Amino acid sequence: MQRYRTATSVVVDLFRYSAAFRSGIIILVILLGMAVLSLASPYGPSDRNVVPVNRPPSLAHPFGTTALGQDVFWLTTFAIRNSLFVAGLAVLIGRSIGVLLGSFAGYVGGTVDRLLSSLTDTFIVIPRLPLLMLIAFILKSTISLAALALLLGLLDWAWPSKRYRAQILSLREEEFTQTAVFAGMSTLRIILREHLPFLIPFLLADAVSGFLYAIGMEVTLAVLGLSDLQMPTIGTMIYWATYYQVLLTRQLWWLAAPVAAAVLLVVALYYLSTSLGDYLDPRTRLARLVPREAGAG
């Protein structure tokens, strides 16, 4: 069986051979740089009336200012950081649950597999957006960024879990798995040490789709006014910009910054997703191997 790839080797391989992956990484690094820059902000994330209101972009305020007396540039850095935090934590929670349940179900099989598969199918058919809207409406005044991430993660593990289960079903028949069993390794150790490395490319692809889902849901809930509106995120920036009717007052810079950040983030994740999809496609993988073998010859 072909040796598994580490996360680093997958990223290096993609960066070398995929222009889409390189473009996505460059955009993502720029956005991450803005998020890190928020740590040097002269203003707090909820400070208001600290700069002149409704000023267009200038040297002093590159992205302009809001009707609440906030600098749009620094507000955007906080928004990107918080949105990425929510998405990252949601992906970590959702994919961790998916890996553990999917791998355990696929390896153990039998009654355990049937029960976990039924649970997975139940979560798949749940309409996530209406449920999120209902829960967010009930908890609107108390829901924090971490709580929102937890909620998003708990509703986004089922589909990845089925993919991991399918991979483990094939891996458990391999010779190295039987060797691990004869060596006395526990089920959990076999899954984490022997099988998990083979899931890394699929984990990377699922993590990208999880980011897209979490960012989209965060923006949707915020625009509907169903999240903590005092905490700057991409969604809450759009909410307050529309609340103050920037389209009518022609203060488009307030709305342009979060929309541009959302578009760039989606484009970056889309590029990463398509390049990872091509990487996992056996036909494109074979096409990459042919030039290498020719060069080696």
Please say if the pLDDT value at position 1 is more than 50: no
Residue with the bigger pLDDT between 3 and 196: it is 196
Please say if the pLDDT value at position 279 is more than 50: yes
Predicted pLDDT at 46: 86
Q: Helices 7-17 & 252-280, crossing angle to 10 degrees? A: 100
The four Cα atoms 265, 266, 268, 274 give a dihedral, to 10 degrees, of 160
Predicted pLDDT at 281: 67
Please say if the pLDDT value at position 126 is more than 90: no
Predicted pLDDT at 296: 47
List CB contacts of 195: < 8 A, sequence separation 6 or more.
103, 107, 167, 168, 171, 172, 177
Q: What is the percent of the chain with per-residue pLDDT over 70, rounded to a whole number?
A: 92
Tens of pLDDT, residues 198-254: 888 888 888 888 999 999 999 999 999 888 888 899 999 999 999 999 988 888 999
Residues 176 and 198: beta-carbon distance below 8 Å:
no
- List, in sequence order, every beta strand (DSSP E) within 29-84: none
Mean pLDDT (the chain, rounded): 86
**What are the structural domain ranges in the chain?**
7-296
Predicted pLDDT at 6: 67
Tens of pLDDT, residues 136-147: 888 876 788 999
Predicted pLDDT at 293: 47
Predicted pLDDT at 169: 87
Predicted pLDDT at 230: 87
Please give the single-letter amino acid code of residue 3.
R
SS3 string of 80-135?
HHHHHHHHHHHHHHHHHHHHHHHHHHHHHCHHHHHHHHHHHHHHHHCCHHHHHHHH
Residue with the bigger pLDDT between 178 and 26: it is 26
Q: Angle at CA 190, nearest 5°, toward 151 and 162?
A: 40
Three-state DSSP class for 46?
coil
Residue 194 DSSP class: I
Please say if the pLDDT value at position 29 is more than 50: yes
CATH topology of domain 7-296: MetI-like fold (1.10.3720)
C-alpha 156/C-alpha 105 separation (Å) is 18
Residues 187 and 258: beta-carbon distance below 8 Å:
no
Token pair of 102 as six digits: 């999917």
Predicted pLDDT at 2: 45
Predicted pLDDT at 51: 93
Tens of pLDDT, residues 46-97: 889 999 999 999 999 999 999 999 999 999 999 999 999 999 999 999 999 9
C-alpha 115/C-alpha 76 separation (Å) is 45
Residues 66 and 72: beta-carbon distance below 8 Å:
yes
Please say if the pLDDT value at position 102 is more than 50: yes
Please say if the pLDDT value at position 275 is more than 90: no
Q: Report the pLDDT averaged over residues 254-278.
A: 90
Predicted pLDDT at 215: 94
Residues 273 and 209: beta-carbon distance below 8 Å:
yes
Please say if the pLDDT value at position 289 is more than 50: no
Predicted pLDDT at 61: 92
Q: Which residue has the tokens 């993660």?
A: 153
